[in-house]
Structure 1
Amino acid sequence: MTSRVSPNDFSAVERWIILSVLAFASGLAMLSLTIANAILPQMQGDLSAGFEEISWVVTATMTATAIAMSAAGWISSRLGQRRALIICGIGFTISCAMLGVADGLGEVIFWRACQGMFAGPIPPMSITVVLNIFPMREHGPATMGMTAGYALAPSMGPVMGAYLTDIYSWHVAFTFMALLGVILLLLIMAKIPAMDRRPGLRLDWFGLLTLAIALGAAQWTLDRGNHEDWFESPEILTSAIIVGFATYLFLAHSLTTRQPFVDLRIFLDKNYVIALIFWSVAGVLEFVPLVLMPTLLGRLQEMPVEIVGILLAPRGIGFMFGIIIFVSLVKFVSSKTLLMVGMSFHIPALWYLSTFDMTVGLEQFVYAGILLGIAESITFSGATTIGFSTLALDLRGYGSAIFFCGRFFMTSAGISIFVTLLSRSTQSNHASISEFVSPFNQALPLINKAVFWDTSSLSGLARLDGEITRQSVMIGYLNDFWILLVLSIAVMPLILLIDRPAARKN
């Protein structure tokens, strides 16, 4: 067992070199989550998948990432952060390489899940290392440095994926990720020192299995529910029962065993719980538009993939603005205020998205992306600082694992929920609008396109039905953005419950 590291073990230069490597590691893990977003329409065509089915390419990765993140505390304690990072890097690189040669939907979903499983532990282990090697007075700038990799990478993912897909194919995008994985492995082996580990620490297999079953069954229920008519289906009913029973077993076991998989004492820290809620909700507010916007552009405006990728890049610009705002304010205002500022930027961004119509211009997507980028960078730093400001040192590993696990499970669940809402809203809107298409509707012939939509011919009816579908889908997207806007406002009062950090509990 190696000795516990402390800030005094490293010089300032060494600390920032280690932080840079870990920021790259976390960024690469996050890049793997969003690289598929801009190329979903191309993957959907190549794999002959429906819209709900192709969304599994994203949600499978998110769910596997969330489950793996929950194990990050044990993995890092048992193996040590350096060895654990190397193992995760190897598995991640192999998964990316296999995605580069996958040619079936089931195969892609399997390797995407493996990719998420190995990428998941990297961010929480990285933030734990950074918090341990930096003195507490430098945690704000240090977490912002981690944000540079963690939050900027998701904005780069769609651009890189779209560019490589346009020139080559979506397979090449994943192959390029494998090359980046090799570079990451070399950097970890060269720059990350051996850190404290507990070789005799046993794994609470029962806790891990029950948590994994609960999360996996919950995601399965959300993904398949709409397709199977929810609780009218024995499959969905059984899955929901499994979720409840597995959750009960996990909680009962964790409260009674001596070495639980997740130390539930982390939830006794009010600041940590509130920060976790904000961090998880922010994941939904930031990632759901990242999934919806490419499909909106591809389905309704038929934009080429490279343009779609470029339109998602302004989030990175907004992220840089967020860094400037954070650095300018961090010495003068509290983390509580910064969190409020970060969450507040979601409101105008989502309101702006909810006002789009069929003639929306490219610049409007740019403005919304910049605002979401600002919100993401400031919220991450504020929530991280608040969440760990009062958490006991020996609970940091568990806290960081659940911090990221909660975010990614909520994000995955949010994507499934909003894709379902989009599908059901589209069907409902189509039925409602179709009621006005009738020979007895005297206003219909007055429309400029009345000849084009001639209801007396099959071709005219087909064109009219296509336009009704387009309008129904657009209304469905707007409904999703409105619900996200309401959610962003509803959580804001929780900021008032955050306590000023006191002396740290040991």
Structure 2
Amino acid sequence: MSQAVLNQPEGEDVSKRIFITFSVMLATIMQALDTTIANVALPHMQGAMGATQDQISWVLTSYIVASAIAMPLTGFVAARIGRKRLFIYSVIGFTIASALCGAAQSLDQIIMFRLLQGIFGASLVPLSQSILLDTYPKEQHGSAMALWGIGVMVGPILGPSLGGWLTEYYNWRWVFYINIPFGALAWFGIAAYVKETSIEADRKFDLFGFTLIAVAIGSLQLFLDRGESQNWYSSMEIIIETGLAALAMYMFAIHMFTAKKPFLDPAMFADRNFVVGITVGFMMGVVLLATMALLPPFMQSLMGYPVLDVGFLLTPRGFGTMAGMMIVGRLARRVDLRYLMVVGTLLMIFSLWEMTLFTAEVSSWDIIRTGVVQGLGLGLVFVPLSTMAFSTLAPKYRTEGTALYSLIRNIGSSIGISVVTTYLAHRVQINHAAFSEYITPFSHPLHMAAEKGMYDISTQVGLLSIDAEVNRQAAILGYLQDYRLMMFVCVVMLPLIFLLKRTKS
């Protein structure tokens, strides 16, 4: 741990902590926003670039894959050139790449600049977490992680509404230009107040180990991101990506435990809290973005909400998350953090159970209320988890550990989105077949509906109307079954919390 920050007079120490917190929070929010803010602008980019649906999806895929591959490098590069220097380079690179994305004139350009964005942005979240853990004394880690968690959790939640507003009233390019003032302020604060760490000039780079993990992560991300569009295992591309991911990960695991100087030190995994922390973090990632991926299309396609209204109705979820994190910040030193996580998980289970009862006529208030409850639960889980996962981990593993923690959570989010999307398509087909069995010439409810003038079963138009309604009801039930799946993920997560060892401040 960097002792220079902790050994200063208290007044000066507190003021520097405020500036450091503000600076790294800006960098965290900037990167977290970019995980979702560009999604709503894709149709506008597609029109401006003259691209197909499959081509424009690479704007998201390139960023996700580049970020996933570069993130494991954070620990090694920080050790070789210094954590502060890496943070500054990352902020400057990310800001410049954002400006270039906004100015891009072709699809090839924006994909290339998004790759750069992903590479430079990969280090921002783990470095910000590591710096805050070192800046604050151990008894204040809960409060520090509450502040850090606001950026990590609220950024992706507010991204779609902010992106929709910027796209609607300005231009899709502003979803990238908005990063420029954030980046400039973050660079100034980091350069002025963050202390540099010691440099390990003799640390060797495990090229073979990094190549294996890069191939595994890159193949996995491509598999998850493109699987649905390529119809999964009917595509040779998906089969190859699955094989590469499995083989490379298997070889990396063997290499990590047998090499003298592996890319990731296996000693990290001897810490129980860290291992349980990244496991629960993976499941949190699944629930966090998968639920966010389901609600907008449910509200737009089945309830008829315009995109801006969808963003505004989802925003209170972020306020619930912020409230949960503030509660944790207040109670972190008074209450066993595991109890807060249990309460948060129960709130998430309750809100997801309520969502399984949604209909196409569900009120705006019910959407807001369940979102706030779910956000509150996420806040009560995320901050204690981020604190306890590193509470017993040796400080020398902190930068590497935070990078791995963020990576596993991001992979969980990617898997969650792919699973719910595929499961939805599968369940809609099954539900449609099940409902169609009741649409027969002998169906009494169908004849009653026809007598009331709702459908004309004697014409082709009437039959098409009935089929459209069957499709709609099958889709509604499919979404509800997806919410139930997310609820079961939270139920499985609940007992894992008690595997965490309680630590005293």
TM-score by length of 2: 0.90
CA 1:468–1:371 in 2, change beyond 3 Å: closer, same or farther? same
| 2: CA distance, partners of 1:360 / 1:488 | 23
AA aligned to 1:273 is V
1:218 to 220, 232, 244: 220
**Shift in Å at residue 421 of structure 1?**
1.0
The C-alpha deviation readout for 1:398-456, integer Å capped at 9, x for no partner, is 21111111000111111111111112222222233234334343431312697453233
1:299 to 298, 301, 311: 301
**Shift in Å at residue 40 of structure 1?**
5.8
| 2: CA distance, partners of 1:98 / 1:129 | 28
CA 1:35–1:226 in 2, change beyond 3 Å: closer, same or farther? closer
| 1: CA distance, partners of 2:137 / 2:484 | 42
Aligned 8 A contact 1:444 1:450 in 2: no
Q: Give the match for residue 74 of structure 1.
A: 76
AA aligned to 2:380 is I
Alignment of 1:105-144 (within 5 A): 111-144=113-146
Aligned 8 A contact 2:347 2:377 in 1: yes
Aligned 8 A contact 1:4 1:195 in 2: no
Alignment of 1:138-287 (within 5 A): 138-287=140-289
| 1: CA distance, partners of 2:278 / 2:384 | 11
Residues 340-349 or 39-48, more deviating? 39-48
AA aligned to 2:416 is G
| 2: CA distance, partners of 1:415 / 1:53 | 19
Aligned 8 A contact 2:64 2:118 in 1: yes
| 2: CA distance, partners of 1:398 / 1:269 | 14
CA 1:3–1:239 in 2, change beyond 3 Å: closer, same or farther? closer
Aligned 8 A contact 2:146 2:325 in 1: yes
The C-alpha deviation readout for 1:38-77, integer Å capped at 9, x for no partner, is 5566667777766x98776556544443333222111221
CA 1:471–1:94 in 2, change beyond 3 Å: closer, same or farther? farther
| 1: CA distance, partners of 2:419 / 2:274 | 26
| 1: CA distance, partners of 2:112 / 2:469 | 37
1:411 to 413, 424, 441: 413
Aligned 8 A contact 1:56 1:223 in 2: no
Unaligned runs of 5+ in 2: none
Q: Give the match for residue 467 of structure 2.
A: 465
**Shift in Å at residue 318 of structure 1?**
0.5
Q: Give the match for residue 7 of structure 2.
A: 8
Residues 336-345 or 444-453, more deviating? 444-453
Residues 212-221 or 309-318, more deviating? 212-221
| 1: CA distance, partners of 2:218 / 2:100 | 23
Residues 339-348 or 124-133, more deviating? 339-348
Aligned 8 A contact 1:164 1:173 in 2: yes
Q: Give the match for residue 377 of structure 1.
A: 379
Q: Give the match for residue 357 of structure 1.
A: 359
| 2: CA distance, partners of 1:128 / 1:247 | 26
1:445 to 434, 444, 447: 447
Q: Give the match for residue 310 of structure 2.
A: 308
**Shift in Å at residue 228 of structure 1?**
4.5
CA 1:387–1:419 in 2, change beyond 3 Å: closer, same or farther? same
Q: Give the match for residue 85 of structure 1.
A: 87
**Shift in Å at residue 388 of structure 1?**
0.9
AA aligned to 1:157 is G
Q: Give the match for residue 490 of structure 1.
A: 492
| 2: CA distance, partners of 1:3 / 1:279 | 26
CA 1:215–1:453 in 2, change beyond 3 Å: closer, same or farther? farther
| 2: CA distance, partners of 1:135 / 1:414 | 35
| 1: CA distance, partners of 2:306 / 2:263 | 46
| 2: CA distance, partners of 1:391 / 1:340 | 22
1:290 to 289, 292, 302: 292
CA 1:172–1:256 in 2, change beyond 3 Å: closer, same or farther? same
Aligned 8 A contact 2:341 2:385 in 1: yes
CA 1:3–1:171 in 2, change beyond 3 Å: closer, same or farther? closer
Q: Give the match for residue 426 of structure 2.
A: 424
Aligned-pair identity (%): 33
**Shift in Å at residue 4 of structure 1?**
6.6
**Shift in Å at residue 234 of structure 1?**
3.5
Counterpart secondary structure, 1:436: coil
Aligned 8 A contact 1:346 1:372 in 2: yes
| 1: CA distance, partners of 2:442 / 2:177 | 58
1:346 to 333, 348, 371: 348
CA 1:231–1:74 in 2, change beyond 3 Å: closer, same or farther? same
Unaligned runs of 5+ in 1: none
AA aligned to 1:253 is H
The C-alpha deviation readout for 1:131-163, integer Å capped at 9, x for no partner, is 112221221212122223222323332221121
AA aligned to 1:205 is L
TM-score by length of 1: 0.90
For the aligned residues, what is the CA RMSD? 2.8
